[in-house]
Chain A
C-alpha cells in the first residue's frame, strides 16, 4: 500500500481539512493505540526529534497528553509555560518563537488564549506547528480524539445524531467538533443559554440550534457536554450555577431522552454537578475516560504525521 502523507505543514484547525486528512489521522491513531498497552510503551519513530510544548494557558490534560504522546514516539520534549518563560519579562510571542526556532525544534505545540496565535507563528518558523487550543477558535486534536472515540463506538459518522450542549460561544472544542462532524456528514444539534450562543451560525452550515436540552437530546446517538467556565461568572451570562445546572445540566432523566446506546462525552475538566451529574459522568453511557485514552493515540498520530515527512 502506498504510504499516505498528511499534506499540510501544520495542524492549525479542523476547518479547512479534507475528509481524507482526518481519516488518515484517525487510522494512524488507531494503529498507535496498541503501543500504549505494551509493557514497554515506546517506539523509536521520532527519535532525535525535538518537540516543544508552548503553553500560554494552564492545561493539565492536553499538555500531559501531548507530552506522553511525544515520549512514546521517542521524541525529546520540553514544556514551556507562560508563567516560567520570558513572557513575564514582556517578550512578544514572535520573539519567543524565533528564539525557540533558533534551537531547531521539529514541532511546536502551542496553546494560547488568543485566536490565531498558532497561525501567527506557523508563518514564521520552519518547525511544524500544532494548535493545542487558540482562544475560542479551535482545538483540533480534541475534535480528532472525539471523532476517534465516536468511531470506535458507532462505526460510521454519516447520519449520526450528535448533541453539543453548553457554552458554545466561548468553546474551541465546540467549534472544532462542529466542523469535524459536519465534514463527515453527522447531524449536529447545539443547545446553550441564549447568552452563550454565537450571534451568527452561518459559518457552521447544517448545525441545528435547539431551544432546550430536551429538544437537542431527543433520540441522539452522542451527547457532548461542554465545560462551563465558572471563572466567567462576572460576565453576566447566566444567573447562577444552580440555575444553570437545573436548566442545562445533563442528568439521568435527560439522558433517558436519547437513544438507548447513546454515548456521553466531556472534554474535561468537568464541573460535577454543574453541566453533568456524577451519576451520568460515571455511568454506563459515559466514554469520558476513553476520550482521554484516545487523546494520547491521536496526538501520537498527529506528531508522527507532521514529524515524518520522508517520501
Chain B
C-alpha cells in the first residue's frame, strides 16, 4: 500500500495531547510515524504539503440517513458516502429507518456489503424493535455480528418503557449502545415547528420543547437505573441541556449530540417573511413563502436554546456534533410546509458550520476535533479511530481553516439538496479526506 506523508500541518490530536506543527507518515493503512522533519522518497509515496492546514483524526458522523435500501432516489449508500467524503468525514453511522427497516441481520449484511464499495467507513445502526413498531426487540446479537454498531429507533421513540429497558439491558450485554431519539408522541402530536412565538403567530401546529425533554428525562432515568450508557441524539433545547448536565453530574453514563442546524439557526428561520426592497414596493409580493428546508425533527428552537446549546458544546455537556443528514428529493419538499417531510442534508455543511463556532470562540480547534472525532469514536466503540497515535487506522481529515466559500447546493455530492444553508458564506472546509491510508477525496480533484 502507498505511503503518504502529511508535511508541516497543524496536527490536532486531543487523545495524544497534540496541537502543534508536525509531520504525519501513513503506511499500510495506519499511522506509521509522527514527528518533525519526516522524510518520504517521492517514489515511495505521496507527499502532501499541509502548511497552514489542520490535520485531525478523521471526522466521524454518528447520525446519518442513507435511504438505502428502499429510497435510493433520495440517497444511496454510495452517494451518501461520497457526500461524507467531500464533507471531510471518514466514517459515518447510518440510521435504521430505511425500507425495509434495518431490523434483522439480512438487512444489516446488505448495508455492510454495499458499504464495501463506499469510499468511507459505513457503520449500520440497527433498529431497536422489529419494523420500528415498538413491539418486539430485534435480534441484536445476530445483527451485531453482521455489523450493527449500535441500536436506535431514530425518527421515533420506543414508547413502551419496559421494552426500552429490556432493549438497553440486552444491548448492554453485547457492548452496543442505544441511541435515543427522544420525543413524546402525544406531546409531539401533529406538530411541525417549535411551539413558541413563531408557531403561535402563524398558526402552525407546535412541537413543545417538553415533547423532547420529557423523553430525555425518561431515558436518563432508565440509564441511571440500569447503570448502562446511552447516547441522546440531536438535543435541541435549553431544558434538554440541563437534564443531560445534571445527569452527568451525578454520574449517569449519558452522552449527547447536537446538529449544526440547531446551533446555527433558530425558529425565526421558518418565517423568513421579509419585506422586499422598498423601491420595488408597489406591485410586489407581500411575503416570501415558508421554507420547508427549515422543517426538521426536533425543530429549530428559540434563540435562548441556541445560546444554551453553544455553552453546552463549549463545556462538554454536549459530546458530539452530528449531521442528522436526512436527504429528501426536492419535489418532496416543494409542497405545503405542513406536508413536507422532516429533515435536511448535512454531511457537506457540518464542518464549515462547526468552523463558525471556532471563529466565534465557542469551540477551540481541539474541542472541535473532540466533538467531531474523538467522542463519536469512543461512544461507538471504534477503538482504532478518533486518534492519530501510531498504529491507529489512517483515517485523517485535512482542513483548510482559512478558505472562504459559498455553500452551493448544486455542488453537493449527495443526491439531495434540501438545505437551508444554500448561499451561506462560510470559512473553512475539508481539503483532503484520507480513509485507511487512501486519499478518497481531495478538493483540488487530485485523488
| A residues whose Cβ falls under 8 Å from a Cβ of B | 5, 7-13, 15-17, 92-94, 112-117, 119-120, 122-123, 135-138, 169-170, 172, 175, 198-204, 309
In the bound complex, residues from chain B placing their C-beta under 8 Å from that of A116 are 202, 289-290, 336-337
Q: Are A12 and B287 in contact (CB-based, < 8 A)?
A: yes
- B281 close to chain A: CB less than 8 A: yes
In the bound complex, residues from chain A placing their C-beta under 8 Å from that of B288 are 119, 123
Q: Are A137 and B202 in contact (CB-based, < 8 A)?
A: yes
| Interchain CA distance A8-B283 in the complex, whole Å | 5
Also in contact, A175 and B335, with CB within 8 A (given A9-B283, A9-B284, A12-B287): no
Q: Can you list 30 A-B pairs, Cβ within 8 angstroms, ordered by A?
A: A5-B282, A7-B282, A7-B284, A8-B284, A8-B285, A8-B286, A9-B284, A10-B285, A12-B286, A13-B286, A13-B287, A16-B286, A17-B286, A92-B335, A93-B335, A93-B336, A94-B334, A113-B338, A114-B337, A114-B338, A114-B339, A116-B202, A119-B273, A119-B287, A120-B290, A135-B338, A199-B195, A199-B208, A200-B199, A203-B200
Kindly supply a per-residue 1/0 record for chain B positions 177-211, scoring 1 wherever the CB is within 8 Å of any chain A CB and 0 otherwise: 00000000000000000011111111111101000
A24 to chain B minimum Cβ distance, whole angstroms, is: 13
In the bound complex, residues from chain B placing their C-beta under 8 Å from that of A16 are 273, 275, 286-287
| Interchain CA distance A172-B203 in the complex, whole Å | 7
Tell me the nearest residue of chain B to A134, going by C-beta.
Answer: B203
In the bound complex, residues from chain B placing their C-beta under 8 Å from that of A170 are 203
A34 to chain B minimum Cβ distance, whole angstroms, is: 29
Q: Are B203 and A115 in contact (CB-based, < 8 A)?
A: yes
A192 to chain B minimum Cβ distance, whole angstroms, is: 13
Partner of B336, one of A114, A136, A172, A309: A114
B426 to chain A minimum Cβ distance, whole angstroms, is: 27
- B331 close to chain A: CB less than 8 A: yes
Q: Are A123 and B285 in contact (CB-based, < 8 A)?
A: yes
| Interchain CA distance A309-B283 in the complex, whole Å | 9
| Interchain CA distance A169-B199 in the complex, whole Å | 10
User: Of A7, A11, A17, which is in contact with the most chain B CB atoms at under 10 Å from its CB?
Assistant: A7
User: Which label, helix, strand, loop or mixed, suits the secondary structure of the B interface?
Assistant: loop
| Interchain CA distance A11-B287 in the complex, whole Å | 10
User: Of A10, A12, A115, which is in contact with the most chain B CB atoms at under 10 Å from its CB?
Assistant: A115
| Interchain CA distance A309-B202 in the complex, whole Å | 29
Partner of B203, one of A123, A137, A201, A309: A137
In the bound complex, residues from chain B placing their C-beta under 8 Å from that of A115 are 202-204, 290, 337-338
Tell me the nearest residue of chain B to A175, going by C-beta.
Answer: B203
B106 to chain A minimum Cβ distance, whole angstroms, is: 32
Tell me the nearest residue of chain B to A170, going by C-beta.
Answer: B203
Tell me the nearest residue of chain A to B302, going by C-beta.
Answer: A200
B338 to chain A minimum Cβ distance, whole angstroms, is: 4
| Interchain CA distance A232-B397 in the complex, whole Å | 53
Q: Are A120 and B275 in contact (CB-based, < 8 A)?
A: no
Q: Are B335 and A94 in contact (CB-based, < 8 A)?
A: yes
B280 to chain A minimum Cβ distance, whole angstroms, is: 10
Interface residues of B in 261-307 (CB under 8 A from A): 273, 275, 281-290
B176 to chain A minimum Cβ distance, whole angstroms, is: 38
| Interchain CA distance A112-B283 in the complex, whole Å | 24
Also in contact, A199 and B196, with CB within 8 A (given A112-B336, A114-B339): yes
| Interchain CA distance A201-B201 in the complex, whole Å | 7
In the bound complex, residues from chain B placing their C-beta under 8 Å from that of A138 are 203
| Interchain CA distance A177-B237 in the complex, whole Å | 32
In the bound complex, residues from chain A placing their C-beta under 8 Å from that of B337 are 114-116, 120
| Interchain CA distance A175-B203 in the complex, whole Å | 8
| Interchain CA distance A8-B281 in the complex, whole Å | 7
| Size class of the B contact interface (CB-based, 8 Å) | 20 to 34
A239 to chain B minimum Cβ distance, whole angstroms, is: 18
| Interchain CA distance A200-B206 in the complex, whole Å | 11
A6 to chain B minimum Cβ distance, whole angstroms, is: 9
In the bound complex, residues from chain B placing their C-beta under 8 Å from that of A117 are 336
In the bound complex, residues from chain A placing their C-beta under 8 Å from that of B197 are 200, 202-203
Q: Are B275 and A122 in contact (CB-based, < 8 A)?
A: no
Q: Give 9 A-B pairs besides A113-B338, A119-B273, A175-B203 with Cβ atoms closer than 8 angstroms.
A: A7-B283, A17-B286, A92-B331, A93-B335, A114-B337, A122-B289, A123-B285, A137-B203, A198-B201
| Interchain CA distance A105-B197 in the complex, whole Å | 36
User: Of A116, A122, A169, which is in contact with the most chain B CB atoms at under 10 Å from its CB?
Assistant: A116
Tell me the nearest residue of chain A to B281, going by C-beta.
Answer: A7
A307 to chain B minimum Cβ distance, whole angstroms, is: 13
| Interchain CA distance A199-B282 in the complex, whole Å | 35
Also in contact, A200 and B202, with CB within 8 A (given A115-B337, A119-B290, A123-B285): no
Tell me the nearest residue of chain A to B206, going by C-beta.
Answer: A199
| Interchain CA distance A15-B273 in the complex, whole Å | 10
| Interchain CA distance A13-B334 in the complex, whole Å | 21
| Interchain CA distance A170-B385 in the complex, whole Å | 51
In the bound complex, residues from chain A placing their C-beta under 8 Å from that of B284 are 7-9
| Interchain CA distance A13-B271 in the complex, whole Å | 13
In the bound complex, residues from chain B placing their C-beta under 8 Å from that of A10 are 285-286
Kindly supply a per-residue 1/0 record for chain B positions 334-347, scoring 1 wherever the CB is within 8 Å of any chain A CB and 0 otherwise: 11111100000000
B15 to chain A minimum Cβ distance, whole angstroms, is: 44
In the bound complex, residues from chain B placing their C-beta under 8 Å from that of A113 are 338
In the bound complex, residues from chain A placing their C-beta under 8 Å from that of B283 are 7-9, 309
Q: Are A92 and B200 in contact (CB-based, < 8 A)?
A: no
A128 to chain B minimum Cβ distance, whole angstroms, is: 10
In the bound complex, residues from chain B placing their C-beta under 8 Å from that of A136 are 203-205
In the bound complex, residues from chain B placing their C-beta under 8 Å from that of A137 are 202-204
Q: Are B336 and A199 in contact (CB-based, < 8 A)?
A: no
In the bound complex, residues from chain B placing their C-beta under 8 Å from that of A15 are 201
In the bound complex, residues from chain A placing their C-beta under 8 Å from that of B195 are 199-200
Q: Are A198 and B200 in contact (CB-based, < 8 A)?
A: yes
| Interchain CA distance A251-B314 in the complex, whole Å | 58
A302 to chain B minimum Cβ distance, whole angstroms, is: 13
| Interchain CA distance A138-B203 in the complex, whole Å | 8
User: Of B200, B283, B288, which is in contact with the most chain A CB atoms at under 10 Å from its CB?
Assistant: B200
Also in contact, A199 and B200, with CB within 8 A (given A116-B336, A120-B336): yes
Tell me the nearest residue of chain A to B201, going by C-beta.
Answer: A203
Tell me the nearest residue of chain B to A201, going by C-beta.
Answer: B200
In the bound complex, residues from chain A placing their C-beta under 8 Å from that of B208 are 199
In the bound complex, residues from chain B placing their C-beta under 8 Å from that of A92 are 331, 334-335
In the bound complex, residues from chain B placing their C-beta under 8 Å from that of A309 are 283
8 nearest A-B residue pairs (beta carbon): A203-B201, A136-B203, A198-B200, A114-B336, A119-B289, A137-B203, A116-B290, A114-B338
Q: Are B200 and A135 in contact (CB-based, < 8 A)?
A: no
